[in-house]
C-alpha cells in the first residue's frame, strides 16, 4: 500500500490542479506551503509537475519551464547536501554507505557551508586559544587524561574520547559523537573530494563511492590561507576522537587541503572543527 501523504501535500495538490490559476501563482503557493512543513523534495517535485500539467496552454512556453525549475531550486536550496535528509535529535544527516550517519553540518553551524565552533581536542566548549597553559587536560608535559606515556603525565591508557569530553556528544546529545581515526580513513578511502570555491560555497563536497550510496554527499567548509611563499591554499581540519599513540601530545584529525586530503595528526591543544557521526 502506498504511503498516505500529509494534509499539506493533499491541500496543495488540489489547489495547484486548478486550471484557472496561473502557473506563477501556483509556484508561489507551493513555495509558501513548504515553509515550516515536512514536505519532502519528491513531494515538491510532484506538486510542480501537477501545476505545469494542469495549465490550459500546456508546457510549450519555454519561460514557464525555466520559472518552474527556478522555483524548484529555491525550494530545495535548504537541502543541497542531499534530497530528503533525515533527522537525528534535530540534526540532519546523510548515509554514506559506511554504516554511519554523517551530519550535514559542523557542531555550532546552522547550515552546511557555515564553519561552526572551534574546539580544542577533548573539550566541549568553544576554544579561545591554543596555549598549553590553558588546555583542559594539562600542559604537554603533565597530561591528566588520555595518555599512555609516563613521561607525559598521568597514565590512563585511554585512546578514544569519553562521551563527556566529546564536543559532538555533549552539544548535540542522543548518539552523536566525533568520528574515530578509522572512520575518517574509511570516509577518505570510499569517497571522492570535489573542491568548490565560489561566492556561496568554499570547501569540499565529499561524495560517496560505495555501491548503493553513490552520489550521497556532505559538505566540509574550508578557509583560504596563504603559505610562506605567498601561494593561496585552502584548508579544512576536523578532529577525530582518537589519540595518536606514538606521541602523547598528538591526536588524529582529517586534514583537507585544496590539492590533497588525508587522516593526519597534530597537537591536541589546537583549534579545529567537529563533524558528528552516529550509528
Q: Are residues 96 and 35 in the same domain?
A: no
Residue 29, C-alpha cell as written in the block: 503557493
Question: Other C-beta atoms within 10 Å of 128: how many?
Answer: 10
Distance between the two ends of the chain, CA-based, in angstroms?
A: 29
Q: Are residues 90 and 16 in the same domain?
A: no
The pair phi, psi for residue 93, each rounded to 5°, is -145, 160
Q: Are residues 119 and 254 in the same domain?
A: yes
Domain boundary among 34, 64, 79: 79
Q: Are residues 57 and 113 in the same domain?
A: no
Question: Other C-beta atoms within 10 Å of 14: how many?
Answer: 10
Domain boundary among 34, 58, 79: 79
Question: Other C-beta atoms within 10 Å of 263: how many?
Answer: 20
Domain enclosing residue 29, as ranges:
7-79
**Residues 6 or more apart whose Cβ sits within 8 Å of residue 233:** 224, 225, 226, 227, 257, 258, 259
Q: Are residues 73 and 164 in the same domain?
A: no
Burial class (CB in 10 A: 0-12, 13-18, 19+), 149: middle
Burial class (CB in 10 A: 0-12, 13-18, 19+), 213: middle
Local confidence band at 68 (pLDDT 50, 70, 90 cut-offs) = low
User: What are the helix (H) ranges across 62-175?
Assistant: 62-76, 167-172
Domain count, the chain: 2
Position 195 scores a pLDDT of: 82
| CA–CA distance, 50 with 14 (Å, rounded to integer) | 9
Q: Are residues 51 and 162 in the same domain?
A: no
| CA–CA distance, 189 with 130 (Å, rounded to integer) | 30
Residue 132, C-alpha cell as written in the block: 598549553
DSSP 3-state percent helix, strand, coil across the chain (nearest 5): 25, 25, 45
Q: Does the pLDDT of residue 17 top 60, yes or no?
A: yes
| CA–CA distance, 264 with 252 (Å, rounded to integer) | 6
Residue 82, C-alpha cell as written in the block: 542531499
In a domain, residue 142? The reply is yes
Q: Are residues 156 and 178 in the same domain?
A: yes
In a domain, residue 119? The reply is yes
Q: Are residues 244 and 111 in the same domain?
A: yes
CB–CB of 82/94 below 8 Å?
Answer: yes
Q: Are residues 130 and 268 in the same domain?
A: yes
Predicted structure pTM score = 0.69
| Among the ranges given (33-37, 64-68, 206-210, 262-266), the one the predictor scored with the smallest mean pLDDT | 64-68
**Residues 6 or more apart whose Cβ sits within 8 Å of residue 87:** 93
Position 254 scores a pLDDT of: 96
DSSP 8-class letter at 215: T
| CA–CA distance, 82 with 104 (Å, rounded to integer) | 9
Position 221 scores a pLDDT of: 92
Q: Are residues 272 and 135 in the same domain?
A: yes
Local confidence band at 26 (pLDDT 50, 70, 90 cut-offs) = confident
Q: Are residues 151 and 235 in the same domain?
A: yes
- The DSSP annotation for 126-140 comes to ------GGG-TT--T
Domain boundary among 25, 51, 79: 79
Arithmetic mean of pLDDT, 99-125:
95
In a domain, residue 1? The reply is no
Q: Are residues 222 and 90 in the same domain?
A: yes
In a domain, residue 2? The reply is no
Question: Other C-beta atoms within 10 Å of 13: how many?
Answer: 16
Spacing of C-alpha 235 from chain mean position: 16
Amino acid at each position: 500500500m502506498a504511503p498516505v501523504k500529509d494534509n499539506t501535500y493533499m491541500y496543495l495538490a488540489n489547489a495547484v490542479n486548478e486550471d484557472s490559476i496561473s502557473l506563477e501563482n501556483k509556484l508561489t503557493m507551493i513555495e509558501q506551503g513548504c515553509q515550516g512543513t515536512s514536505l519532502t523534495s519528491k513531494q515538491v517535485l510532484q506538486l510542480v509537475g501537477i501545476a505545469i500539467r494542469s495549465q490550459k496552454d500546456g508546457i510549450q512556453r519555454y519561460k514557464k519551464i525555466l520559472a518552474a525549475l527556478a522555483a524548484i531550486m529555491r525550494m530545495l536550496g535548504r537541502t543541497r547536501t542531499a534530497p530528503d535528509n533525515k533527522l537525528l535529535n534535530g540534526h540532519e544527516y546523510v548515509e554514506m554507505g559506511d554504516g554511519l550517519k554523517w551530519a550535514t553540518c559542523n557542531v555550532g553551524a546552522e547550515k552546511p557551508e557555515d564553519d561552526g565552533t572551534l574546539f580544542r581536542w577533548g573539550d566541549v566548549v568553544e576554544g579561545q586559544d591554543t596555549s598549553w597553559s590553558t588546555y583542559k587536560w594539562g600542559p604537554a608535559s603533565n597530561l591528566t587524561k588520555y595518555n599512555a606515556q609516563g613521561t607525559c603525565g598521568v597514565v590512563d591508557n585511554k585512546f578514544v574520547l569519553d562521551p563527556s569530553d566529546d564536543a559532538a556528544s555533549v552539544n548535540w546529545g542522543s548518539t552523536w559523537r566525533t568520528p574515530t581515526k578509522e572512520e575518517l580513513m574509511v570516509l577518505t578511502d570510499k569517497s571522492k573530494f570535489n573542491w568548490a570555491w565560489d561566492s556561496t560555497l568554499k570547501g569540499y563536497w565529499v561524495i560517496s563511492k560505495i555501491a548503493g550510496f553513490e552520489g550521497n554527499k556532505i559538505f566540509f567548509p574550508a578557509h583560504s590561507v596563504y603559505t610562506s611563499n605567498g601561494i593561496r591554499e585552502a584548508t579544512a581540519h576536523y578532529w577525530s576522537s582518537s589519540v595518536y599513540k606514538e606521541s602523547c601530545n598528538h591526536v588524529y584529525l582529517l586534514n583537507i587541503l585544496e590539492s590533497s586530503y588525508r587522516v593526519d595528526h597534530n597537537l591536541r591543544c589546537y583549534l579545529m572543527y567537529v563533524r558528528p557521526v552516529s550509528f
